[in-house]
Amino acid sequence: MSALTFHNQVAVVTGGSGSIGHLIVAALAERGANVVAGYHQHDVVVNALQKTFSEQVLPVQADLREPDAGQLLVDTALSRWNRLDILITAHSMIANAPVAEMSLEQWHAVLQVMLRGTMGICRAALRPMQRARYGRIVTLTGYQPLAGALDQANYAAALGGVLGFGKALAREVAAWGININSVAPGLIERAQIAAFDPSYVPWATNIVPLKRLGKPNEVVPTVLLLASEAASYMTGQTIMVEGGWRMV
């Protein structure tokens, strides 16, 4: 248990260029996995990962709004390494607005990327996992569907959909040794938000019982736990990493 290793395992990580996703790619690769790092725009981040881990990390550009994006990422992993043990969905897209003012575009885009994109890649991952009778799927969700969040009804709905989808799928595929769980981060340090809204960090620091925001690398260990053999008896669960903010 003290050594969570993923030697010879193959993972697909969506949002591999993101603030949490790129740390997950690195953590998996450091522990021996071969990783397809899906990204949308930020090739600098994933290219740097590839430089560090050379053969072990393969960046693949894919827009999860496209219906075939999930299949593309999975197929790339299969054709390169011929197996798929782990799928981690760490992509994120927000388009905040109060519901009354939310444009149809904001509404659809978030559902399309966050819910349909996740469902699509989970489905694509099933066949190789069922064949191997082993699989670990970890979705990154958030506190929004569990506790609500201002101006994020679209995001909360999409992630709530991911949680419901994950539990239903967990029941469907448990017989093949495929476990599906979710990690729901709370208020996590993000350079972009702090720059955009200077009141964010003081507000969050004050409101969270642990009196600080989470760091992206504090979310990663829980993802690794659920992606590992150590979590063999957990499925359909959501673990919040949120410093006691909501406790739901």
Partner 1 sequence: MQLDLTERVALVTGASRGIGRAIALALAASGAAVVVNYRGSESAANDVVEQITQQGGRALAVQADIADESSHDALIKAATGNFGRLDILVNNAGITRDTLLLRMKADDIDAVLNTNLRGIMLLTKAALRPMTKQRWGRIINMSSIIGLTGNAGQANYAAAKAGLLGFTKSVALEMASRNITANAICPGFIETDMTAHAFTDELRAAALQRVPLGRFGSPDDIAATTVFLASEAASYITGQTLAVDGGWTMY
- Interface residues for partner 1 in 216-235 (CB under 8 A)? 218-222, 224-225, 230-235
The catalytically annotated residue of 39, 143, 155, 233 is 155
Q: What are phi and psi of 144, to 5 degrees?
A: -55, -45
- Site membership for partner 1, residue 241 (CB under 8 A): yes
Q: How far is the CB of 233 from partner 1 (least distance, A)?
A: 4
Distance CA 123, CA 180 (A): 12
Q: How far is the CB of 72 from partner 1 (least distance, A)?
A: 30
- Site membership for partner 1, residue 210 (CB under 8 A): yes
Distance CA 114, CA 203 (A): 27
Check if the beta carbon of residue 109 is closer than 8 Å to that of residue 59: no
Pick the binder of partner 1 from 167, 192, 196, 197 (CB under 8 A): 167
Contact stretch for partner 1 (CB under 8 A) within 8-16, 103-111, 137-145, 168-176: 168-176
Contact stretch for partner 1 (CB under 8 A) within 128-136, 139-147, 171-179, 195-203: 171-179
Binding mask 10-39 for partner 1 (x = CB under 8 A): -----------------x------------
Contact stretch for partner 1 (CB under 8 A) within 17-25, 126-134, 142-150, 207-215: 207-215
Q: How far is the CB of 193 from partner 1 (least distance, A)?
A: 17
Q: How far is the CB of 232 from partner 1 (least distance, A)?
A: 7
Pick the binder of partner 1 from 43, 171, 197, 198 (CB under 8 A): 171
> Is 233 one of the annotated active-site residues of the chain?
no
- Full 3-state SS string of the chain: CCCCCCCCCEEEEECCCCCCHHHHHHHHHHCCCEEEEEECCCHHHHHHHHHHHHHHEEEEECCCCCCCHHHHHHHHHHHHHCCCCEEEECCCCCCCCCHHHCCHHHHHHHHHHHHHHHHHHHHHHHHHHHHHCCEEEEEECCCHHHHCCCCCHHHHHHHHHHHHHHHHHHHHHHHHCEEEEEEEECCECCHHHHHHCCCHHHHHHHHCCCCCCECHHHHHHHHHHHHCHHHCCCCCCEEEECCCCCCC
Q: How far is the CB of 231 from partner 1 (least distance, A)?
A: 7
- Site membership for partner 1, residue 186 (CB under 8 A): yes
Q: What are phi and psi of 37, to 5 degrees?
A: -100, 100
- Site membership for partner 1, residue 46 (CB under 8 A): no
Catalytic residue positions, numbered: 155
Q: Please give the residue ranges that form the binding site for partner 1 (CB under 8 A).
A: 1-4, 27, 167, 170-171, 174-175, 177, 179, 186, 209-211, 214-215, 218-222, 224-225, 230-237, 239-244, 247
